[in-house]
Structure 1
Amino acid sequence: MSLLMHRRFSILGLACFMLLIGPLHAGLSGFMPVGSGMALAQDTASEIDYDAWEKRADAADEVIEADNANIEELDQLRAEIVAWRTRFSEAQSGGSNALQTVRDQIAALGPAPAEGEEEPSDIAAQRKALKERLAKLEAPITAANLAYSRADGIIRGIDQLIRDRQTRALLQLEPSPLNPARWPETATAIWSGLTELRAETEENWASAPQRAKLRANAPVIVVLGLLGLLLMLRGRIWTEAAATRVQVGGATAARWLTGFALSLGQVLLPLIGLAALTEAAMLTGLIGRKGDQILGAVPVAGFAFFAALWLGARMFPRNEKVDPPLGVPYERRRSGRLYAGLTGLVLGLWELVRQFAETFDLQAGTRGVLTLGLVIAGGVLLMRFARILRRPPEDTETEDTDETTAGYQSRVTVLIRRVLVVIAALGIVAAMIGYARVSEAMIFPALLSLQVFAFLAILQRMLFETYVLLTGNRESGRDGLVPVLSAAMLFILSLPVFGLIWGARWTDLTEIWTRFTEGFTIGNSRISPSDFLTFAVVFAVGYGLTRGLQSTLKTTVLPKTKLDVGGRNAMVAGVGYLGIFLAAVIAITSAGIDLSSLAIVAGALSVGIGFGLQTMVSNFVSGIILLAERPISEGDWIEVGGQQGIVRDISVRATRIETFDRTDVIVPNADLVSGTVTNYTRGNTVGRVIAPVGVAYGTDTRRVETILKELAGVHPMVLANPEPQVLFVGFGADSLDFEVRCILRDVTWKLAVLSELNHAIAARFAEEEIEIPFAQRDVWLRNPDALQPSQPQAPTTNTTATDTVPPSAASSTAPEETAPSGTINPLLRGEADTDDSATDAPDDGDDI
């Protein structure tokens, strides 16, 4: 069986169905590191024989230099070298505690004396002994470092050698399969292979022991054959009907998950049936050695076919009421199911053809003719899938516009469509020219990738339905954090599968994983994934303890103290910042990161802070000052930078103020510390309100004062001590101006009290027949006859349009000179009303 196809289908089966990898285990196990080298990796506690290693390394260098070993031998050699490298890696970290102890002891002795100076003999003796011990401890680590570097170089050399061979084989130009001269040769090769299979069967049938074995196994063969036929013919129908019946019964998460579990039988049952038929054929004893190789590829081909049918049924459901993952219109689903089944058929036949070619060692040109039809069929299927993924017909008119404005998913779909078309066209052309391996490496991996993408979409839907089942909230689940992170994790986990499909070797993936687990070095510290995990766990525990302590202080301890609300909040915030800082430091130390190695980074950051981050640092320090000094607290009514509002939150960087029109204003803490801030409620809520009032000229001012003082004194929010004041502040242009000044119990009621006082004043003045004037003006036309049409006019007496105004206003606006004679257009006569009132609007028109 083809190792390449076994690897691809095995990985795909492992990702799709963990219960279905039995038939594929033989193929997958061929890629695991095996051989005597594994035993070396397990014996980590034993001493390393560096002489034996040097001999093996020299032999490996000779093999790489000669370049005459096959792929299997190179894989075996690589596995052995990897085992050696594992031992060297473990030896590098051995004795780290003892080394650190000796280094600490040397540091405790103090710096070594300078040249020409001497130190006490006992200290010198201790220093010498410690240095000798340090050199003895460092010697094995140094040897392990050197051996590790050589092993790593040999592994890279083997990988490069294998990649070069694969590249040369991939780019090999074969005779064009379109040449009719190759067709009779291909037909002869096929007939020769079939004849050889028939000869093996006839030879086994002629053997008496084989016939006896057939008779002994006949009952088992019959049972397995009938069971296999039943499961293959009816298994899919049973499970598909059960799954559809469950899902159509209701659009709930439980029903969808139940239907999904039942639908897995569409692959599992037919594959079990195929395995039963294959086993029955094996038990007959009539299949020869090469027949066994061909028959061994049947389960892999069957899995490709049945998995494709299942994916097609899930991605393009038959029932219109079932929502498909990609939202494909119902009229296209039938075509989607058909193309999915044909994809599985093409992939299955490809595996059988490849296995046939490898079993009978067909020539490259003959194999190209055999696979040409499958390559063309695969390319056509890719184009048909690209057509299915296009937008519905009603959206084709605006396709170009939609591609630039569509969402992320739509853009990805468009990209996939274009890639499929390009791969299909290039693959078919390459196959016709004679690059058969290039075409196979493009068409069939693309088909497998489509299947993986479809399976990922189904898995994502399964995770979403599971989340909905656990939370009971379908709406929030669509954009919830857990489903989104799960989808991202699925894609990351699928990357190795895509790598294997597109030609990566298993050893390439293991090498990447080895590099990842080794981590990277910062200064004298090596950071590995386990260190990241330790850091995350310790920091999460410290963060949780900090939040718990904050909650306890805020709800249990601090309310029983005499601190005000602002002081409590400041203490809780300070505990939070200190706890998070300590949690980070402890987590870094627990992960084994040497903070002293970050000194250079810290120095560079200090330069950046001095320039680009100075504003942020200024706000941070200002936030600490606000929390410590507490000039403002949460709930205070303040005014800063022309903005008034209630302080809702004080963080390290900025303070959030909620204005009286219910909008949030974010004020940097530096502005609160360095700027002018008015705090209306700091210490207490007592404040003053001023109500301006204007009355007409001629009104008794003492009477007005008495009325205003009486009205202010009866309001429940106005303090009696100090008592309200009424001031006669001046003679206005239109009125006699007064001010009512009251001290309120709660200044946050300022605007409400001002409104109520104005209502009371207006009602009382109406009762007392005290006039509240409004602004009035006289309009005097100096030359009204110039505004009339040019026609003879009778001489008239100069007139002035004057309305009744107070004496002062009249005297201030009356003209002193004699106006020229003329007439006044009635349309131009009138009074000029202004918006000026006797009482000005309050400065702060906001409502609290």
Structure 2
Amino acid sequence: MKWITLVLLLALLGMGSALGEESESVPFDQLLKSWNQTIERAQEALESDFARVEMSEIKGDLQATLDSARKARGQAMAQLETAKQRLESLTPVPATKESKEPGATEAPPAETPQIAALRKEMQSRVTKLNAEVTQTKLIIGQANDLLASIAGWEQTRIRSEILKRNPLPFHLQIWQKASVDALAFARQAIEAPRAWWDIHRLQDGTWRLLGPLMLVLVLGLGIGWPTRIWLTRRFGRDGAEQGPTYARRLIAALADGFANAVIPAAIVVLTLLILYLQGVLTGLFALLFYSGGTALAAFLMIMGLVRAAASPHLVAWRIAPVQPAHVYRLLAAIRGVTASLLIAFALLITAYYSKMLTPELESAFFIIQVPLTSLLMIWALAPAYWETSLAESQSAGSVEQAAERTGEPSATDDKAELTASEEETSPHSWFERGRKAGRLIMLLTPFLALAGYGRLAFFIQSRLVAVAILFGFALLLRLAIGEMVERGLTRRRLMPNGAVKKAADTDQRRIRGTMFWIGMVLNLLIFLPLIYLILFICGVPPTTLQLWIGQLLSGIQIGSISISLGAMLLATLVLIVGVIITNIFRHWLANRVLPNTRLDLGARNSIAAATGYLGVAIVLLLAISTLGVDFSNLALVAGALGVGIGFGLQNVVQNFVAGLLMLLERPVKVGDWIIVGATEGTVKRISVRSTEIETFDRSSVIVPNSEFISSPVTNWTYKNRLARVRIRVGVAYGSDTKKVAAILLHCAQAHRHILRYPPAAAYFLAFGDSSLNFELRCYVYDTDYYLPTISDLHFAIDDAFRQEGIEIPFPQRDLHLRSDSLALSSQQQEAEKPTGKQVHQ
């Protein structure tokens, strides 16, 4: 399967290269003429404020021109480079008699007519290609300038629309005119369905067009409702499950939100889409129906997700830090804010497109709507409704439990709670700061409406709520995907003794490292589109966003080097895919091919490792080539490096290469307990030149990397952190040897840091001079507990031997003293009457 994937990937890359090289052979003069016409048309449309042509059409033509010019420029530059190389390969131009130097004795040979004609042709081609490159650069610059001008025009238009000032609502005439306009709008809105029915009831095709709508409704209810039930039962919350993990809670919240929010909203959206495609609804009734249906779908979506996150009754499944005693009031406030904004959007869109939104009606509408939304938002963001953390929200219990403890608060209690809640509960929390900032903004927006800037006030309110919803949904999605991926990576291993043991520390570190990079990728995939969407809904024109993205991807030019984000991403993709393919090939070679040869294990490992190094080197060259780096510069650097090595940098390069080998082979890692030479300690840092080792005396020793390649290295934690403990002990002759072995095994098995597999073993090693020698061998699961475990076992064995009466003998020696020929004093002879003496030491 891996080889099939590899072959398909290479085939796709080859097809992509072949297709990329194919292009329509359109003469450059025709392309240039078409480009100039597009630019002139765009300039005229921009000068007339797009009065006679759509702005989207002009932007599309300019973008097509820009893409075509860039493609032509790339082809012309490639052809120009080839033509220059061919021109340089020709012989030099021969000198004429007039140009011949006085000291010259012989003129160069005359150039053949064929070479002269070829030289002239190549010179003409180089001149033509230079002109094409210059013209395409000019077209690209003009197209970019026009797109930037269109983006500026869009920004000015959006800014002027948002900052447009309505009549001040302090005059009675404004309210009278607004009342008349509102009544007229309401009258037409009420009569719109009947007017539509009067027009379409006699048409034969109307009922046939409604057939697909009924089919969508039936399929939506027939498929959506069973799907909703299956989701809630399979992935939803279970009240009987106690203490669900955070990943389980997130998955259940997403399942509940999808079942109760996405499916109903999708049915509404599909219904609206079918009606729009069929063209059944027309006039004011269509505006009312489409805007109202869209508002309904958004309301179902938002409230379904909010309720899934709050989880009023099942406390253990809650993922939002809400206050249980006020969760229903919070939901009511959020419901009010959502309904207020969505109804306002529906009414404004309908009135605007029906040409009934007068300045007086707009001013009066914002005077009513903006303060109402502000009050609802301030209510929803009240500190009494939120907890500082999810743990505090869960500890408070369900709604009923919190009400039983605190009692159902009255209106007076509400006021007291809101007053007390003005205190800062978590000043360092980002959520707390965002909540306070939101309340402050909502408090200021009604003053903007009173000053006549109702559009600006409504824009700030609606975008603030939209950004909060989008960010919350993206954060929830990011956490859920991250938790599910980590849950899939984490594995539990069943030990031989039947106990469930978590993965070793090395596995945990590997999982954390993998999750870090996966998290980075998820952040890019989720939050980059989120930033684009937030900028778009906050009023940044699409043309401006496209220009920003184009500049970001096309990069900047520094000398002869172009730094492009797109090229960097492509080079990163090439590097990742290349390393994956290299690892697949290396594993296949090491596990399938080389074991079937007559090579020994060392040779097989060397060949596999060399293949991996070669593959990585090729992938690095491909990635560098993708970045657009000139290999001639690399050749100069390599040549200078060779000269430096020859003049005395052998040791530096030796350590550098050894550091690279260490980073690739990883014989020593940061945190390993190693012994190299006379140095023993923990690896703190590995660089390309040296390695820092911290000894157990807390001193740092800097060891050149070449020492790790040229000398043996003892690594206690190379494959894992297991370590074997060996304890030697001697007992007196006459002791029960089987009992001694049993005591040693019992002491090892009773220790909490000793593994049961591999099992501990007690060996009767030898009959010593003074004792019967035994050795206890067992394994500690982490080298951090190596010395403490040895000490604990010594204490345990000593206590056990004392309780069982087993003696640990002293070494015995017999010392014989002989008198020499010298006469001893009488005092010495009396003191040393025995001729021999047995001394125990």
TM-score range, shorter chain: 0.5 to 0.7
Matched, 1:442 2:460: yes
CA distance in 2, matches of 1:512, 1:130: 40
CA distance in 2, matches of 1:204, 1:622: 83
Instruction: Percent identity, please.
Output: 20
**Counterpart residue number, 1:142:** 134
Contact 2:227 2:259 (8 Å CA) reproduced? no
Post-superposition shift, 1:353? 2.0
Structural mapping, 1:718-797, within 5 Å: 763-764=811-812, 768=815
**Counterpart residue number, 1:536:** 572
- Deviation by residue 1:52-102 (Cα, 9 ceiling, x = unmatched): 5434433432443344738x7333322322222222222112245433322
**Counterpart residue number, 2:68:** 87
618-627 or 523-532: which moved more?
618-627
- Deviation by residue 1:154-192 (Cα, 9 ceiling, x = unmatched): 111121122112222222222234555422221110111
Contact 2:235 2:255 (8 Å CA) reproduced? no
Post-superposition shift, 1:193? 1.7
Structural mapping, 1:291-690, within 5 Å: 291-358=285-352, 359-386=354-381, 387=383, 388-389=385-386, 391=388, 403-404=427-428, 410=429, 412-467=430-485, 470-471=488-489, 480-481=515-516, 482-483=518-519, 485-524=521-560, 526=562, 531-540=567-576, 542-544=578-580, 580-596=616-632, 620=656, 643-644=679-680, 652-655=688-691, 667-669=702-704
Distance 1:584 1:175, change over 3 A: same
Post-superposition shift, 1:256? 6.5
Q: One-letter code of the match for 2:89?
A: A
Secondary structure of the residue that 2:702 maps to in structure 1? Answer: strand
Post-superposition shift, 1:196? 3.3
- Deviation by residue 1:699-719 (Cα, 9 ceiling, x = unmatched): xxxxxxxxxxxx99x999xxx
**Counterpart residue number, 1:706:** none
Secondary structure of the residue that 1:434 maps to in structure 2? Answer: coil
**Counterpart residue number, 2:721:** none
Distance 1:398 1:356, change over 3 A: closer
- Deviation by residue 1:621-655 (Cα, 9 ceiling, x = unmatched): 7858999xxxx9x9996556xx5569999974324
- Deviation by residue 1:581-620 (Cα, 9 ceiling, x = unmatched): 44322321255432346799999999xx9xxx99998963
Contact 1:267 1:307 (8 Å CA) reproduced? yes
CA distance in 2, matches of 1:473, 1:297: 50
Post-superposition shift, 1:309? 0.9
Contact 2:694 2:700 (8 Å CA) reproduced? yes
Q: One-letter code of the match for 1:343?
A: V
Post-superposition shift, 1:345? 0.7
Structural mapping, 1:22-37, within 5 Å: none
Structural mapping, 1:693-732, within 5 Å: none
**Counterpart residue number, 1:802:** none
Contact 1:343 1:381 (8 Å CA) reproduced? yes
Bigger Rg, structure 1 or 2: 1
Contact 2:693 2:703 (8 Å CA) reproduced? no
Candidates 83, 86, 94, aligned match of 1:102: 83
Q: One-letter code of the match for 1:583?
A: V
- Deviation by residue 1:305-340 (Cα, 9 ceiling, x = unmatched): 111211211221133244333343433533343233
Distance 1:508 1:428, change over 3 A: same
Distance 1:666 1:433, change over 3 A: farther
Structural mapping, 1:224-303, within 5 Å: 242=232, 246-248=236-238, 250=241, 251=244, 257=251, 260-261=254-255, 263-271=257-265, 274=268, 289-303=283-297
Distance 1:315 1:339, change over 3 A: farther
Q: One-letter code of the match for 2:345?
A: E
Secondary structure of the residue that 2:164 maps to in structure 1? Answer: coil
Candidates 1, 23, 46, aligned match of 1:64: 46
Structural mapping, 1:109-258, within 5 Å: 109=90, 116=99, 121-122=111-112, 126-177=118-169, 179-198=171-190, 210-213=200-203, 217=207, 242=232, 246-248=236-238, 250=241, 251=244, 257=251
Distance 1:390 1:257, change over 3 A: closer
Unpaired runs of at least 5, structure 1: 1-41, 405-409, 682-710, 717-759, 771-848
Distance 1:593 1:369, change over 3 A: same
303-312 or 519-528: which moved more?
519-528
**Counterpart residue number, 1:845:** none
Post-superposition shift, 1:257? 4.2
CA distance in 2, matches of 1:422, 1:297: 30
Contact 2:659 2:687 (8 Å CA) reproduced? yes
Contact 2:370 2:445 (8 Å CA) reproduced? yes
Q: One-letter code of the match for 1:456?
A: A
Post-superposition shift, 1:414? 3.1
Distance 1:372 1:110, change over 3 A: farther
Secondary structure of the residue that 1:377 maps to in structure 2? Answer: helix
Q: One-letter code of the match for 2:369?
A: L
Contact 2:321 2:386 (8 Å CA) reproduced? no
CA distance in 2, matches of 1:618, 1:247: 61
Post-superposition shift, 1:521? 3.6
Q: One-letter code of the match for 1:512?
A: W
TM-score of the superposition, structure 1-length normalised?
Answer: 0.60
**Counterpart residue number, 1:809:** none
- Deviation by residue 1:272-291 (Cα, 9 ceiling, x = unmatched): 66569879999999976223
Distance 1:45 1:346, change over 3 A: farther
Query: How many positions carry a matched residue from both structures?
Result: 629
Secondary structure of the residue that 1:319 maps to in structure 2? Answer: coil
- Deviation by residue 1:376-413 (Cα, 9 ceiling, x = unmatched): 23323433443345526989999879645xxxxx3x32
CA distance in 1, matches of 2:317, 2:249: 13
CA distance in 1, matches of 2:631, 2:359: 61
CA distance in 2, matches of 1:397, 1:769: 94
CA distance in 2, matches of 1:222, 1:135: 63
Post-superposition shift, 1:129? 2.9
CA distance in 2, matches of 1:401, 1:268: 34
Secondary structure of the residue that 1:667 maps to in structure 2? Answer: strand
Secondary structure of the residue that 1:185 maps to in structure 2? Answer: helix
Contact 1:213 1:285 (8 Å CA) reproduced? no
Distance 1:368 1:326, change over 3 A: same
**Counterpart residue number, 2:828:** none
- Deviation by residue 1:794-844 (Cα, 9 ceiling, x = unmatched): xxxxxxxxxxxxxxxxxxxxxxxxxxxxxxxxxxxxxxxxxxxxxxxxxxx
Contact 1:81 1:151 (8 Å CA) reproduced? yes
544-553 or 163-172: which moved more?
544-553
TM-score of the superposition, structure 2-length normalised?
Answer: 0.60
Distance 1:320 1:237, change over 3 A: farther
